[in-house]
Amino acid sequence: MTRVRPTWPDLPTHVRDAVVARLGGPVAGWTSHDGGYSPGWALTLRTAAGSVFVKVASTEHEVAARLHRQEAQRAAALPDGVPAPAFRWSMELPEPAGAEPAWVIVASDVVRGRAPRAEPWDLDDLDRLQRLARRIAEHEVREGGVFPDFGGKVLPDPALLADERPEGLATYDPWLAENLDRLAEIASPERQEEASAGPHLVHGDLRADNALIARQADGVEDAVAVDWPYAARGAAFLDQIGMLPAVRGAGGPTPQQVLDRTPLPAGTDAEAVTVWVAVLTAYFARGSLLDPPPGIPHLRAFQRIQAEACIPWLRDRLHAG
C-alpha cells in the first residue's frame, strides 16, 4: 500500500524557483519521501545552509491543500516541548497567469530518524509510539485557540452505516451488520462529543507513517510525531487508541495486548474508550466501501484492514461490559 510521490524535478519551474528564493540558495540535493495517504510532494531539500523538509500540494487536490493550510497554522502554535519538528514557514503561490493561489507549501525542520519498524512490528518501537501519544497528551491547550475541539466534528458514520446498510457489509464479520443499530446508539453525536472532550493536545492522525524514531542527545531512541494538520484539543487517550487499528491491521498485537504494555492515562473512562472504538469501527467500515478518492487509490484497502481490526475489539469490549 506504499504510494510513490512526485519528486523535486516534477514541480513546476515557478514553484521550485519560489522555494529556492525562500531558502536563500540553490537546492544541492533532494530526497522524496514515498508513502502516506495524501497526494502531493514530501521532500527533504539540501542547501548550503542546511536541510529543510517541505510539503507541497496543488489546489487541484482541494483536501490536500486545505490540510497543508491547517498544518501551517497548527504546527506553528504547538506548545514548547511537544515532540515534533519545528515549523519554519509556509507560502501560497498562484499560477503565473492566475490570480488565485494554486500551490500550498509548508516547511519544517528535518527530523534525523528512521521509520518505526512495522513490517513486522518491533515491540520496542510500538512502545515508543504509545509513549509518544502520552507525551503529546501531557500538553494542554487553551479552549478557543487554533486547536479545535476534537468532539466538535462529530463523525456521522455510525448513524449512516445503520441507515444505509450497504451491500458490502456482507464481506465483513456478520456481527457488524447484526449490531449496526447498537453501534449507532453507542456512538451517537452526543456520546462522541462527551467521550472525546478534554483540554489535552491531540495529534489526531498518529500512526507509524506519521512518526519517526530519532536518537536523542543522551543516545536513547524515542519517537517524534510529524504531520500535524489534524491537531486538536480533546481527551488524553485519543491518540493512543486511534493508532491501534492500523497496528493490528499490519499484523501487530491486538489492541488490548498493546494497552497491557502501555496503559492509557490514569483516570481514562472505559466507556469513553468504547464509544471511540465504536466510532472507529463505523468510520473505517463505511469508508472502506466507498469509491477511492482522487490520488489515493490505496486508501480504501487501508481502511478495510483497520475495520477488520476494530470489529473484534469492539465486540470484546461490549461483551466485557
Asked if 32 and 41 count as a contact pair (C-beta separation under 8 A), the reply is yes
Mean pLDDT of 168-179: 97
- Which whole-number Å values give the CA distances from 221 to 49, 116, 224, 260, in the listed order? 27, 11, 10, 22
Instruction: Give the span between the Cα atoms of 98 and 87, in whole angstroms.
Output: 28
- Which whole-number Å values give the CA distances from 205 to 62, 208, 232, 265, in the listed order? 19, 10, 10, 18
Would you place residue 1 in the very low, low, confident or very high pLDDT band (cuts 50, 70, 90)?
Answer: very low
Do the domains spanning 8-110 and 114-320 agree at the CATH topology level?
no
pLDDT of residue 268: 97
Q: What is the pLDDT of residues 48-78, one digit of tens each?
A: 999 999 999 999 889 899 999 999 999 999 9
Would you place residue 21 in the very low, low, confident or very high pLDDT band (cuts 50, 70, 90)?
Answer: very high
Q: What are phi and psi of 44, to 5 degrees?
A: -100, 120
pLDDT of residue 170: 96
pLDDT of residue 205: 96
Q: What is the pLDDT of residues 216-242, one digit of tens each?
A: 888 899 999 999 999 999 999 999 999
- Residue 208: CB partners within 8 Å, gap ≥ 6? 115, 116, 118, 125, 129, 243, 246, 247, 250
Mean pLDDT of 28-33: 95
pLDDT of residue 216: 85
Please return the burial class of 288, using the count of CB atoms within 10 Å of its CB with bins 0-12, 13-18 and 19+. buried
Q: What is the pLDDT of residues 73-107, one digit of tens each?
A: 999 999 999 999 999 999 999 888 776 779 999 99
3-state secondary structure (DSSP) of residue 234: strand
Q: Where are the domains of the chain?
A: 8-110, 114-320
Scanning 207-294, the segments in alpha helix (DSSP H) are 238-242, 244-249, 255-261, 270-288
pLDDT of residue 36: 64
Q: What is the pLDDT of residues 273-289, one digit of tens each?
A: 999 999 999 999 999 99
Would you place residue 194 in the very low, low, confident or very high pLDDT band (cuts 50, 70, 90)?
Answer: very high
Task: Report angle CA 235, 241, 246 to the nearest 5 degrees.
Answer: 145
Note the pTM of the prediction, 2 decimals: 0.93
Q: Which CATH number fits domain 114-320: 3.90.1200, 3.40.50, 3.30.750, 3.30.1370?
A: 3.90.1200
Please return the burial class of 276, using the count of CB atoms within 10 Å of its CB with bins 0-12, 13-18 and 19+. buried
Amino acid identity, position 272: A
For residue 1, what is its C-alpha cell? 500500500
> Nearest CA to 98 among 139, 71, 58?
58
For the beta carbon of residue 223, count every other beta carbon within 10 angstroms. Answer: 24
Instruction: Give the span between the Cα atoms of 29 and 26, in whole angstroms.
Output: 9
How big is the chain, counted in residues? 321
Q: What is the pLDDT of residues 245-260, one digit of tens each?
A: 999 999 999 999 999 9
Where is average pLDDT lowest: 1-15, 71-85, 198-212, 269-283? 1-15
Q: What are phi and psi of 167, to 5 degrees?
A: -60, -30
pLDDT of residue 197: 97
Mean pLDDT computed over every residue of the chain: 94
pLDDT of residue 98: 72
- Angle, helix 270-288 to helix 157-164, in steps of 10 degrees: 50
pLDDT of residue 310: 98
Amino acid identity, position 262: T
3-state secondary structure (DSSP) of residue 130: helix
Q: Does domain 8-110 correspond to CATH entry 3.60.110.10?
A: no
